[in-house]
């Protein structure tokens, strides 16, 4: 029996018309990246069809639909970058590129017949909890729903970060972020400034460096760069994986455990990172002969404190005669001029931002209002926290996929996503079996969980002194999971009702339901 009983008929797509003609669904999913599509597939496999996916773009894919910059590629091995329940034996490279990953996601949507339940071009504008009616009111740019549950599957790499540089928005040339690459803009012969030297910049800079006339790469902190082991897969490998799926599963398992072993240097003994640092320094020495340029490209923090990057082409691009590495801070931008802290100026035609995303302060948090009317952003004012990276105080019937402290610096995020998907599906099972109308994580449960998480942070590589997007404004690491991923899988193996306040259909609070 469903928790919310409605009498109106469906509209033919599994959507029920609720009070006032507003369509009602059991589950509203925001986002159609890996998390959103994965959940939709798991829902269907569990026999649950009463859901809608809300997507602001015109196609599925999330960050892999939005990020189309030249050279865009995953830095996790392909075997780990697909769902365990939907393997892809046809990856053409050991590290997949954006077009192929996007194709995989679109193929998932087609194979599992998800498109009829996706509302493209619907950008979330507000979602608020109605405690009297026990449902969410979900508003988008093109429509409104009510839903028993809302699941935010937008992910941490979905909202580009624009730096607070004086005069940037008044720049008189062309300005765009790598996540919104302007393919119609011709860079040929232009004077181009690239702000940022993170994961995106090290991929697109080598792709455009020969096209531009002059390039200024503005670096705040030199990253650690390891040699890339990417290669094309062979036709024999692809045939083997299609004919013998267990062979691909065996390779996937081996890659998973080898990546899991990297964590020992991150959380147990940072001295274990010295071997990788020696490899990175040798890589730098081999590719950059100029000692002064090499000095400015040498990281001054422990490998792993910031995201570890992979490239065989970044350093050679910076040694080209038309490229300048700039390490002075930007003071301001006037017209088409970048003014640096030392007073020098650079005239440019185009600025490309490789400045990352809003991770610890997701903009969707300003759109979600919980039980007391406060936004999630207001609740996060002292720092973002979640129970199992998924549920938050004051937010009934709400899950955040890939939420706080679920990020990884060593393994595949899809493992974490699948763990959370299992947790959500089990929560729905428990709701049906126990006739639960609402659940809300207990304050003491979320406090105890996050105290445990933060107690593991001291001594880890992420807290070893660098400034990274892993840390929030208070210097707390609210991004990374500080343990082995299999332990997260164990923690999310079932929906633990003892951590939640539960209300049944009868509106009578349930005290400590059996786990």
Q: Taking residues 79-98, report their average pLDDT.
A: 96
pLDDT tier for residue 17 given thresholds of 50, 70 and 90: low
Q: Given this model, what pLDDT does residue 469 score? A: 84
Q: How far apart are CA 102 and CA 119, in angstroms?
A: 18
pLDDT in tens, 30-59: 999 999 999 999 999 999 999 999 999 999
Q: Given this model, what pLDDT does residue 465 score? A: 87
Q: Per-residue pLDDT for 204 more than 80?
A: yes
Q: Per-residue pLDDT for 400 more than 70?
A: yes
Q: What percent of the chain has pLDDT over 70?
A: 94
327 within 8 A of 338, measured Cβ to Cβ? no
Q: Given this model, what pLDDT does residue 1 score? A: 25
| 3-state secondary structure (DSSP) of residue 319 | coil
Q: Taking residues 491-498, report their average pLDDT.
A: 96
Q: Taking residues 412-434, report their average pLDDT.
A: 97
CATH code for the part of the protein at 23-60+114-159+358-510 = 3.50.50.60
Q: Taking residues 367-372, report their average pLDDT.
A: 94
Residue 229: which of 174, 279, 291 has the closest Cα? Answer: 279
| CATH class of residue range 168-223+262-353 | alpha beta
Q: Which of 98-107, 151-160, 170-179, 340-349 has the lowest mean pLDDT?
A: 151-160
Q: Is 31 left (phi over 0), alpha (psi -120 to 50) or beta?
A: left
Q: Per-residue pLDDT for 507 more than 70?
A: no
Tokens coding 375: 């936004």
| 3-state secondary structure (DSSP) of residue 101 | helix
Q: Per-residue pLDDT for 80 more than 60?
A: yes
Q: Given this model, what pLDDT does residue 8 score? A: 32
The reply to whether 23-60+114-159+358-510 and 168-223+262-353 are identical in fold is yes
Q: Given this model, what pLDDT does residue 330 score? A: 97
Q: Which is it for strands 337-340 and 345-347: parallel, antiparallel or unpaired? A: antiparallel
What is the residue extent of each domain of the chain?
23-60+114-159+358-510, 168-223+262-353
pLDDT tier for residue 380 given thresholds of 50, 70 and 90: confident
Chain centroid offset of residue 473 CA: 19
Residue 305: which of 477, 515, 180, 501 has the closest Cα? Answer: 477
Q: Given this model, what pLDDT does residue 178 score? A: 96
Q: Given this model, what pLDDT does residue 157 score? A: 81
pLDDT in tens, 438-486: 999 999 999 999 999 999 999 999 999 898 888 888 889 999 999 999 9
pLDDT in tens, 145-186: 999 999 999 988 878 899 999 999 999 999 999 999 999 999
Q: Per-residue pLDDT for 508 more than 60?
A: no
Partners of 215 in the beta sheet?
Answer: 192, 323
pLDDT in tens, 211-260: 999 999 999 999 999 999 999 999 999 999 999 999 999 999 999 999 99
369 within 8 A of 128, measured Cβ to Cβ? yes
Partners of 339 in the beta sheet?
Answer: 332, 345
Q: Taking residues 293-305, report their average pLDDT.
A: 95
Q: Which of 61-75, 215-229, 501-515 has the lowest mean pLDDT?
A: 501-515
Q: Per-residue pLDDT for 3 more than 70?
A: no
pLDDT tier for residue 361 given thresholds of 50, 70 and 90: confident
Mean pLDDT of the chain: 92
Q: Which of 154-163, 182-191, 290-299, 308-317 has the lowest mean pLDDT?
A: 154-163
């Amino acid at each position: 029996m469903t928790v919310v009983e409605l009498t109106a008929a469906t509209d033919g797509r599994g959507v029920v018309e609720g009070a006032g003609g507003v369509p009602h669904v059991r589950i509203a999913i925001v986002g159609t990246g890996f998390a959103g599509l994965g959940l939709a597939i798991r829902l269907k496999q569990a026999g649950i069809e009463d859901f809608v996916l809300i997507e602001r773009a015109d196609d599925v894919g999330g960050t892999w639909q939005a990020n189309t910059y030249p050279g865009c590629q995953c830095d996790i091995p392909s075997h780990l970058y697909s769902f365990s329940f939907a393997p892809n034996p046809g990856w053409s490279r050991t590290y997949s590129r954006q077009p192929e990953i996007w194709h995989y996601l679109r193929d998932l949507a087609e194979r599992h017949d998800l498109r009829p339940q996706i509302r493209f071009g619907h950008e979330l504008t507000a979602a608020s909890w109605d405690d009297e009616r026990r449902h969410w009111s979900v508003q988008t740019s093109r429509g409104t729903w009510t839903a028993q549950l809302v699941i935010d599957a937008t992910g941490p790499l979905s909202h580009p970060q624009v730096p607070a540089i004086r005069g940037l928005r008044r720049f008189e040339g062309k300005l765009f972020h790598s996540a919104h690459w302007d393919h119609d803009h011709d860079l040929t012969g232009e004077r181009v400034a690239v702000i940022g030297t993170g994961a995106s910049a090290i991929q697109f800079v080598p792709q455009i460096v020969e096209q531009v006339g002059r390039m200024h790469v503005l670096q705040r902190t030199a990253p650690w760069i390891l040699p890339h082991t990417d290669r094309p897969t062979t036709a024999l490998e692809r045939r083997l994986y299609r004919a013998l799926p267990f062979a691909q599963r065996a390779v996937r398992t081996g890659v998973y455990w080898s990546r899991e072993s990297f964590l020992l240097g991150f959380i147990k003994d940072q001295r274990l990172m010295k071997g990788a640092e020696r490899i990175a320094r040798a890589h730098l020495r081999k590719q950059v002969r100029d000692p002064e340029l090499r000095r400015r490209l040498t990281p001054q923090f422990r490998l792993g404190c910031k995201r570890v990057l992979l490239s065989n082409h970044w350093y050679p691009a910076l040694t080209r005669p038309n490229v300048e590495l700039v390490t002075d801070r930007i003071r301001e931008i006037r017209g088409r001029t970048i003014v640096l802290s030392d007073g020098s100026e650079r005239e440019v035609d185009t600025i490309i931002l490789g400045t990352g995303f809003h991770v610890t302060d997701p903009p969707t948090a300003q759109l979600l209002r919980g039980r007391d009317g406060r936004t999630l952003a207001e609740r996060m004012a002292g720092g973002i926290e979640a129970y199992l990276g998924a549920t938050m105080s004051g937010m009934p019937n709400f899950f955040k996929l890939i939420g706080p402290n679920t990020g990884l610096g060593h393994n595949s995020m899809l493992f974490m996503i699948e763990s959370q998907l299992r947790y959500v599906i089990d929560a729905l099972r428990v709701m049906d079996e126990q006739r639960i109308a609402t659940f809300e994580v207990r304050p003491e449960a979320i406090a105890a969980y996050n105290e445990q998480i933060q107690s593991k942070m001291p001594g880890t590589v992420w807290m070893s002194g660098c400034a990274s997007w892993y840390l929030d404004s208070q210097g707390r690491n609210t991004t990374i999971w500080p343990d082995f991923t299999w332990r997260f899988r164990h923690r999310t193996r079932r929906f633990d009702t003892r951590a939640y306040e539960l209300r049944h259909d009868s509106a009578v609070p349930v005290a400590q339901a059996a786990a």
